[in-house]
Amino acid sequence: MTATKRQIRQLRANAAQLIKLADELEAALDQPEQSDESLMFAPPRLSPALERELLIDRVELEYGNRRRRRNFLDADLFGEPAWDILLDLFAARLKDQTISVTSACIAGDVPPTTSLRWLRQLECVGLVERIDNPHDQRSSWVRLTDKGYGAIKDYFESALSQADRMRRSFEERIILAYERARS
């Protein structure tokens, strides 16, 4: 079996994530015991690093779902390049990555001139900013401003909170149905 350097790096990254998760699970075992019922309805206590990883997964899921729609519906029905750009920049910031203007334009999934127009609009409203590339005068980077980052983070926290409330409500309905069936 021949592995590429990229595959080896990915394998090491996966191993590091597994070790981090094992450490967090081990730390959770040291917490005081709770009843099974309180564990079912209590939100899990996660480390900031794990919360960040879950948020990255959620953002990437949202971005991937937007791309997957075109397998089922005409892509021309859904044109939100600004949102796609913001999602890409948000994920990049969570991962401490730098994004070029060209890469941000690709994330917009529209012609480059349209993406550039949306980038300018996002700059005008203070959600993104351009930064000179110190290594190449011909290119620049783009990133979310603190305002942009805060807005997108608040959106995802609100969406995740809503999903958690729905999950708990569903669990409660299952328990009620089970108790009715037993009586």
pLDDT attached to residue 168: 80
Tell me which amino acid residue 121 is: Q
- pLDDT tens-place string over residues 73-94: 887 777 789 999 999 999 999 9
pLDDT attached to residue 44: 58
pLDDT attached to residue 169: 81
CA dihedral 23, 29, 31, 37 (to 10 degrees): 130
Rounded to an integer, the average pLDDT of 107-125 is 94
Q: For the chain, first and last CA: distance in Å?
A: 58
Residues sharing a CB contact under 8 Å with residue 116, sequence separation 6 or more, in sequence order = 101, 105
pLDDT attached to residue 149: 96
> Of the spans 9-18, 146-155, 173-182, which averages the highest pLDDT?
146-155
CA max distance for the chain: 74
Q: Mapped to the 3 state alphabet, what secondary structure does 151-175 carry?
A: HHHHHHHHHHHHHHHHHHHHHHHHH
**Contact status, residue 131 vs residue 141, Cβ threshold 8 Å:** yes
- pLDDT tens-place string over residues 35-71: 555 445 555 567 888 888 888 888 888 888 888 888 8
pLDDT attached to residue 4: 75
Query: pLDDT over 90 for what percent of the chain?
Result: 36
pLDDT attached to residue 43: 55
What pTM did the predictor assign? 0.66
Compute the chain's Rg from CA coordinates: 21
In this predicted model, which residue has the larger pLDDT, 67 or 130? 130
Report the C-alpha gap between 73 and 1 in whole angstroms.
Answer: 40
pLDDT tier at 95 (50, 70, 90 boundaries)? very high
Q: Name the DSSP letter for residue 77.
A: G
Structure tokens at 57: 């997964």
